[in-house]
Amino acid sequence: MTFVPYDRPVRAAFVGLGRIYDLNVRGYIGNPGVEVVALVDPNEERRAQRQADWPDAATFASAAELAASGLEVDTAEVLLPVMMHADGVSELLDFGWHVNLQKPMCNSLAEAQRMLDAAKANDRILRVMDNYLFYEPLHRLKTVAESGELGGVVGYHMKMVGTGNGGWDVPWSSFEWQIDQMKRGRGIMVFDDGWHKLTTAIWLFGPIREVRAWIGNLAVGPGIDLETPATLVWEHESGIRGVWDITIAMDMYLRSDYYTNDERWEITGSKGFARVNRCTGRGIQQPSLEVYADGEMRGYHALDDDWGSSFRDSGRYWLRWLHTGEGPLLWSGEEAVDVLRFALAAYESSAKGGIGVDPADVA
Ligand SMILES: NC(=O)c1ccc[n+]([C@@H]2O[C@H](COP(=O)([O-])OP(=O)(O)OC[C@H]3O[C@@H](n4cnc5c(N)ncnc54)[C@H](O)[C@@H]3O)[C@@H](O)[C@H]2O)c1
């Protein structure tokens, strides 16, 4: 890879202008390191709506039209439905643009390889963003775990409750392709939202050597199958074990500015514990991070625990990276494949009755 950092504002195109654009755009607004030159979406209404943010940007119904226009683009912010990632991203890389791709990377290892090959062939960067890695309470949790103040880490757990009421509006069109994904065995709980949780597991404690899973099914409508209740258990190469439980509480109201996820991360150490109490939604109204050690509980009251800020910081990180080329990509395409393997290992384990599966062995 012969990446040369930019010494001028990078010229960016947004490809996909749907629901999550509202948060991804936060890293770009007021950022002198970027010039948003193009907006791409086949949906005319979406183009008109987003044009208000970038009056000087040109709009296109497809990336091919943008490429054919001759407008210079350095990087694409890719916010497409997941099943379009492999073809869409390969096309953009072939145009010679760097790509910042929303998670999940894609549905299969073959699709992932296609994107990695396209990045290599075109000498471009493929980043698979995960905003959770920029959520300040999780950052502080990692720092606490590494500082030794909990003693040695003896285990950890994550919790996800999808609640039925509250939050922002999600248009039916954003949900339709998720139903297609469910039919492909890539559900919204374990795979789509789950991508974040599995990413944080690898980010916190490193490579995984064994995964065991028991993934249930809650049919809430024709073709709408939610993968709950589900329990995933795994062991890192370090020997640390993690467990993640996923449930749906259909009638629960959760205050949230975004999706209605009630989430927790809790690390147990030999002499204390640390817990992130919430993330996407505003569930537990305690400090977003609490640390117990030596008989004392410490609450972190001043962290930026607005989930939306994690998108802003992830976007800014990427745009800064393009100007320096320094530090990890958080996440690189190759690191994202580890997350994909983790998810695929969970599906394989569950299908085989919960046996242990090494993500490295997933075909
Ligand atoms: N980080 C997070 O927490 C988070 C949250 C939600 C969604 N996501 C991810 O973001 C991505 C998009 O999700 P969303 O909820 O915004 O979906 P969405 O359906 O709201 O938006 C997708 C947009 O892509 C457009 N589109 C379709 N085909 C296109 C094409 N060929 N070229 C350009 N645009 C095209 C659609 O018209 C739509 O406007 C997915 O990968 C999803 O998993 C991430």
- For 56-102, what is each residue's pLDDT tens digit? 999 999 999 999 999 999 999 999 999 999 999 999 999 999 999 99
**pLDDT higher than 90, residue 300:** yes
Other beta carbons within 10 Å of 81: 17
- 10 forms beta bridges with 34
CA of 181 to the centre of ligand 1 (A): 13
CA of 43 to the centre of ligand 1 (A): 12
CA of 17 to the centre of ligand 1 (A): 7
| Tens of pLDDT, residues 255-270 | 999 999 999 999 999 9
Q: Which atom of ligand 1 is nearest to the CA of 43?
A: 37
Identity of residue 199: T
Contact call for residues 275 and 234 (beta carbons, < 8 A): no
The whole-number pLDDT of residue 313 equals 98
Protein residue whose Cα sits closest to atom 31 of ligand 1: 62
* Pocket lining: 37 vs ligand 1, CB cutoff 6 Å: no
Which candidate, 121, 349, 135, 64, places its Cα nearest to that of 234?
349
**pLDDT higher than 80, residue 152:** yes
**pLDDT higher than 70, residue 154:** yes
Place of tokens 């597991």: 201
* Pocket lining: 174 vs ligand 1, CB cutoff 6 Å: yes
The whole-number pLDDT of residue 309 equals 98
**pLDDT higher than 80, residue 192:** yes
Question: Would you place residue 2 in the very low, low, confident or very high pLDDT band (cuts 50, 70, 90)?
Answer: confident
Contacts 24+ apart (CB under 8 A), 238-242: 238/205, 238/206, 240/153, 240/154, 240/155, 240/156, 240/205, 241/155, 241/156, 242/155, 242/156, 242/157, 242/158, 242/201, 242/205
- Please choose from 14, 20, 50, 197 the residue to mutate so as to test ligand 1's pocket, defined by most ligand atoms within 8 A of CB: 20
The whole-number pLDDT of residue 181 equals 97
The whole-number pLDDT of residue 307 equals 98
Protein residue whose Cα sits closest to atom 39 of ligand 1: 18
Give the number of C-alpha atoms closer than 13 A to the C-alpha of residue 339, restricted to the C-beta side.
Answer: 31
Residue 160 tokens read as 């996800």
**pLDDT higher than 80, residue 163:** yes
d(CA 175, CA 9): 35
Q: Tell me the mean pLDDT in the region 231-259.
A: 98
Query: Which DSSP state fits 350?
Result: H
* Pocket lining: 62 vs ligand 1, CB cutoff 6 Å: yes
Q: Tell me the mean pLDDT in the region 270-274.
A: 98
**pLDDT higher than 70, residue 17:** yes
Identity of residue 337: V
The whole-number pLDDT of residue 285 equals 93
**pLDDT higher than 70, residue 1:** no
Contact call for residues 212 and 241 (beta carbons, < 8 A): no
* Pocket lining: 26 vs ligand 1, CB cutoff 6 Å: no
Whether residue 81 is preceded by a cis peptide bond, meaning omega within 30 degrees of 0, is no
- ∠ CA 311-317-320, rounded to 5°: 140
The whole-number pLDDT of residue 319 equals 98
